[in-house]
Amino acid sequence: MAQRALYDLAGKTVVVVGGGSGIGEAVAFGAAEQHASVTVLDANEGAAKAVAARIGGEAAAATVDIRDRQAVDDALKTIVRGRGGLDVVICTPSINVRKPILQYTGDEFDRVVAVNLKGSFNVLQAAGSIMTSARHGSIVIFSSIRSQVVEPGQSVYAMTKAGIVQLVRTAAAEFGPFGVRVNAVAPGIVETPLTAPITANTDWQRAYANKSALKRWARAEEMIGPTLFLASDAASYVTGTVLFADGGWTAIDGRFTPPGM
């Protein structure tokens, strides 16, 4: 197979959960540019439909609350009936409540876990059921640098992102014999609606930019390549891995540059 064809998604049905905004939106457009038949799923029906309309062609949209296992299952089965199969599922949604552990409420804990961890599990379980039966497919779930490194106020968010890593690894072990690959993308700091409160604060924005080796934030579009690599045949022997797209954040300490350097 020609190397360029390895990344081609022509003839493949790709579902982007959380495709109504941010990284999910960028990835949905990227998949369409690689000739995939894209379905955008999002809790915000209007946003999902707007993205699908801008993509055009065969792109479709529907609403789904990933906290609801049955709703996720129904949404993916509907896509299978309409498209004739399911090749790639990409799950991007997450929320964060930044608070010290001692100030976290039970409701806040439940809300973050319900979306980030339970929601990702629901998508993985529903997609895995379909794909293992079909004996092919690729699932990409979004983790974060917070699965590895933390800061004050990130306890529950970091916990869920670390949980996703182990969830992906276990799914890779269980689904692999059926020809289904499962991987995670772990972004660093990306300009999205989720990070808008940070980018609005000049000092905070600059501090994060300076922590990465590249000294800048990522654009949502820069997550397309890592995600579609894992989704495509270019990664046909890649499963159970975490791809850090973090500008070098987790590779460097960055607190002090020794004299003479």
pLDDT tens for the 261 residues of the chain, in order: 566 688 999 999 999 999 999 999 999 999 999 999 999 999 999 999 999 999 999 999 999 999 999 999 999 999 999 999 999 999 999 999 999 999 999 999 999 999 999 999 999 999 999 999 999 999 999 999 999 999 999 999 999 999 999 999 999 999 999 999 999 999 999 998 878 888 899 999 999 999 999 999 999 999 999 999 999 999 999 999 999 999 999 999 766 666 776
Task: Return the SS3 of 169.
Answer: helix
Question: Cα separation of 245 and 190, whole Å?
Answer: 10
Question: Cα separation of 223 and 217, whole Å?
Answer: 12
Residue 115: per-residue pLDDT: 98
**pTM of the full structure:** 0.95
The domain segmentation of the chain, as residue ranges, is 9-245
Token pair of 225 as six digits? 């390549």
Could you say which of 104, 157, 208, 237 is catalytic?
A: 157
* Torsion angles phi and psi, residue 67, rounded to 5: -70, -15
DSSP annotation of 115: I
Q: Is 237 marked active-site? A: no
What kind and span of H or E run contains 70?
A: helix 69-83
* Torsion angles phi and psi, residue 181, rounded to 5: -100, 145
Q: 9-245 has which fold? A: Rossmann fold (3.40.50)
Residue 240: per-residue pLDDT: 98
* Torsion angles phi and psi, residue 132, rounded to 5: -65, -35
Question: Cα separation of 76 and 15, whole Å?
Answer: 8
Using a 10 angstrom Cβ sphere, with 0-12 exposed, 13-18 middle and 19 or more buried, the burial of residue 134 is middle
Question: Cα separation of 12 and 83, whole Å?
Answer: 9
Residue 127: per-residue pLDDT: 98
